[in-house]
Amino acid sequence: MKTLNGQADCRIPLNRDVIVSRAIAIADTEGVGAITIRRLAQELNVTAMAPYRHFLDKEDLLNGIAEKLLANVNLPETAPRTWDQDLALVFDQLVAALRQHPSVAELVLTRVLLTVSGLTLAERVFQLLTDAGFEIERVGQIGGYALNSLVALVTTRPGTVANPNPEIRDAILRKKRASLTSLSPREYPNIVAAADTLVSCTDDDAYYALGVKLVIEGIKGVRSDLSDQTDSIL
């Protein structure tokens, strides 16, 4: 049996997971923009059309990536906790899963309801919000807000750049920091002062803990309004 380049066949059999894993590996080192069907085919030693046996189109491939990311969310056991504690645990797990491959986390933003693991996650979040006393329209909106905010938290974490190649990455960050520190301290005192923390993250765990807390506290704040006044403006 011969392959494209006439050498011994060292291909692993093609399937969705092999292709998706390879796509994630590409994004991890070169950014999500480096994922192309042709590139994938080349790295897997097949022709450009071979992946289409396993995916409808590129959109389907991107859905597959989102699915694989969300499959890594370990939903905690249901236990006798308060709804906000449970919610925080679920959000922690989502963040933990997205942090593993921040370069593809953005793909999740519009695909939670398109994947089975995303549906499972959303259902759990919605259930906890229902438990908290929100009506179903608010449940959808608040649940969506929470998931979106957490995804955005990961994709826009200070220090994140489109191209994760170490050298290019550092050069981009140095340049970005320079452009912020070179701003007028009279016009932009706070931005100049925050330049360092806007360009890199000293403590990832603290950053994500703060993000989850912001989401949880936001929901608690909206809820207390709900119980305080029956004729809420919401």
Partner DNA sequence: ACCTGAACACCGTTCAAGT
Query: What's the rounded Cα separation, in Å, for the pair 179 and 195?
Result: 9
The site partner of 71 among a copy of itself, DNA, none (C-beta below 5 to 8 Å per kind) is none
The amino acid sitting at 199 is V
DSSP character at residue 185:
T
Site string for DNA, 55-84 (x = CB under 7 A): --xxx-------------------------
Verify binding: residue 198, a copy of itself, rule CB under 8 A: yes
Render the burial of 81-108: b for 16+ CB within 10 Å, e for the rest. Answer: eebbebbbbbbbbbbebbeebbbbbbbb
Verify binding: residue 202, a copy of itself, rule CB under 8 A: yes
DSSP assignments along 56-125, one per residue: SSHHHHHHHHHHHHHHT--PPPP-S--HHHHHHHHHHHHHHHHHTSHHHHGGGTTTGGGSHHHHHHHHHH
Binding positions for a copy of itself, 102-141, rule CB under 8 A: 109-110, 113, 119, 122-123, 126-127, 130, 136-141
CA atoms within 13 A on the CB side of 87: 26
The site partner of 58 among DNA, a copy of itself, none (C-beta below 5 to 8 Å per kind) is DNA
Verify binding: residue 176, DNA, rule CB under 7 A: no
Instruction: Tell me how many degrees the CA angle 156-162-167 measures, rounded to the nearest 5.
Output: 115
Report the residue from 31, 102, 158, 164 that binds a copy of itself according to the rule CB under 8 A. Answer: 158
State which residue, 93 or 127, has the beta carbon closest to a copy of itself. 127
Binding site for a copy of itself (CB under 8 A): 109-110, 113, 119, 122-123, 126-127, 130, 136-145, 148-149, 151-153, 155-156, 158, 176, 180, 183, 187-191, 193-194, 197-198, 202, 206-207, 209-211, 213-222, 225, 233-234
